[in-house]
With several copies, the nearest count.
Chain A
Amino acid sequence: MKKLINGVESVVPDALRGIAAAHPGLRVDVENQIVFRDSGPRPGKVGLVSGGGSGHEPLHAGFVGYGMLDAACPGEIFTSPVPDQMIEATTAVDGGAGVLHIVKNYTGDVLNFQLAAELSAEEGVEVASVLVDDDVAVRDSLHTAGRRGTGATVFVEKIAGAAAESGAPLAEVARVAGTVNARSRSFGVALSACTTPAAGRPTFALGDTEVELGIGIHGEPGRARSAMRPAAELVRVAMDALHEDLPLSGDVLVMVNGMGATPLIELYVAFAEVSAYLAEKGVTAARSLVGDYVTSLDMQGFSITVCLLDDELVRLWDAPVETPALRWGR
């Protein structure tokens, strides 16, 4: 394992020092591992807090700023943050209008945010939560942990952030966040595994002509191993899975997301196929993102996330945003 790090233990605080140095619009509490907007809470604005394991950058710290998150709590690599971070973030960003927790559906994230929400409420902050669970590779049932939260998190954070910025009350911000999640689906494909600093070697071994279909964002193997195929066919597998779960129609927001070690030129190759697939179905990619947004360390691969748009969602998506990783209109 070769990584551009100083040591396995210090990756997260070291990166937080880098984020602090690179982004004057952010305030970083390196010790407690929280990234805040430098401007502090705005009275009357709903606060948005998210968090999750590190190793998915720019998620979440890269989405802190105007029109998106108020604070992000990075955990250790691929490990959900702890309640202390979330409580500290929640109380700090509350401008009196309450705080929305945006939680990806993993047992760890859910349990830790749940403890944090209870304790924050005890400190007098009104807290609502939205659970992101967009990954169609995982079969959902009452008797399982349910679907994972992956790419749709970016959509939820952006759109809920715009709603909060516009002054919407907590219930309304939570509603729109839930709507985005309900209308979004993701599917991921790995061409290689990733290596966590702690493990020091790839989390699974893929042959030279194999891919993993239906991977998550934590280096977990997917649901099935399959033969490597041209981009057009891999995209079709992913798009078929999305379309089967949530029939695509009308205008959609699409993200072709790199898992961390996929060259951008390849993501554009994939996006061309996504766009062709949608055109075939009479669906319009009205808005799109192509790049690394929700990564899995040094994994090679991609995920596709699609959200069915309506006028409200388009308006909120287009609203100004100014964060390290997403910026327009300002």
Chain B
Amino acid sequence: MATGFEMDTAFFAAWIEESARSVAAGKERLTDLDAAIGDADHGSNLDRGFTAVVRALAVKEPDTPAALLTVVGTTLIRKVGGASGPLYGTAFREMGRALGDLGDTAEVSPGELCAALEAGLAGVRRLGSAAEGDKTMVDALAPAVRALRRALEEGSEPREAAAAAAAAAREGAEATIPMRARRGRASYLGERSVGHEDPGAASTALILTALHTVAAR
């Protein structure tokens, strides 16, 4: 994602498809994580959402990354429900909006992608009022976005930067295990939420890992 590495609409479509694939493959695990500290639906929620997203994109692929991400976000909001639907939906819609504000071109630079992810994170934070440490998807998304920014600032290659972001997301997800939940359904468990990975953080790690997979092709 250094200069010279530009991401077109097809790249974003591939990211979303790869995310859909890995959510489908990880559906059971996500649901199991949610069964432990939530209501056992995170896997099916996201799978239903990404299946709908892939179908929507198949019908008519938008012609800019900004438009594509907006469709992704809107579809997630319309199809997922639960806490994760509006949150992920907002994240993608905010990414789309950020790219649109940056000029809505057919090609996005690594820096622009990073700015878009920062906008997505800000959207999630605003809507869900979760801080880092609250044991939510924010605990995977925030360090991922930070890692991406740092790698780019340090002049890393795009796929290296994506790898750093994905690794940070996975570590962030794992780091939720000892946390006590303060937002979302897991917060009802109080102390008993400790010792389990947050399902939304785990799915965020899948989505960031998908980004790296596609960037590394």
Contacts and interface: CB of A to CB of B under 8 A. Distances in A.
A164 B37 CA distance: 38
A15 interface: no
A221 B183 CA distance: 16
B77 interface: yes
Given A82-B79, A144-B187, A199 B31 contact: yes
A107 B80 contact: no
Contacts of A221: 189, 192
B81 A81 contact: yes
Interface in A257-307: none
B83 to A, nearest CB: 4
A203 B43 CA distance: 14
A218 B79 contact: no
Nearest to A51: B81
B45 A148 contact: no
A106 B41 CA distance: 14
Contacts of B143: none
Contact of B185 (A77, A83, A218): A218
Interface string A185-226: 000000000001011000110000000000010111101100
Contacts of A143: 182
B62 interface: no
**Number of contact residues on B: which range applies?**
35 or more
A223 B192 CA distance: 7
Contact of B188 (A81, A108, A148, A204): A148
Chain B interface secondary structure, helix, strand, loop or mixed?
A: helix
B68 interface: no
Contacts of A106: 83, 185
B39 A220 contact: yes
A108 B183 contact: no
Contacts of A80: 81-83, 85
A145 B188 CA distance: 8
Interface string B183-198: 1110111101000000
A146 to B, nearest CB: 9
Contacts of A81: 81
A81 B39 CA distance: 15
Interface residues of A, number: 38
A147 to B, nearest CB: 9
Contacts of B82: 53, 75, 79-80, 108, 112
A86 to B, nearest CB: 10
A38 interface: no
A159 B77 CA distance: 31
Interface in A38-97: 53, 75-84
A246 interface: no
Given A76-B44, A80-B82, A199-B31, A111 B87 contact: yes
B120 interface: no
Interface in B187-217: 187-190, 192
Contacts of B32: 199
Contacts of B150: none
A174 B154 CA distance: 55
A124 B183 CA distance: 32
B128 A111 contact: yes
A203 B35 contact: yes
A145 B40 CA distance: 18
A309 interface: no
26 contacts: A53-B41, A53-B81, A76-B45, A77-B41, A79-B41, A82-B80, A83-B77, A106-B185, A107-B128, A107-B184, A112-B82, A112-B86, A143-B182, A144-B183, A145-B184, A145-B188, A148-B188, A198-B40, A198-B44, A199-B31, A204-B35, A218-B38, A219-B35, A220-B37, A223-B188, A224-B192
The 10 closest A-B pairs by CB, nearest first: A218-B39, A111-B86, A108-B82, A107-B83, A108-B83, A199-B40, A198-B44, A79-B81, A79-B82, A78-B39
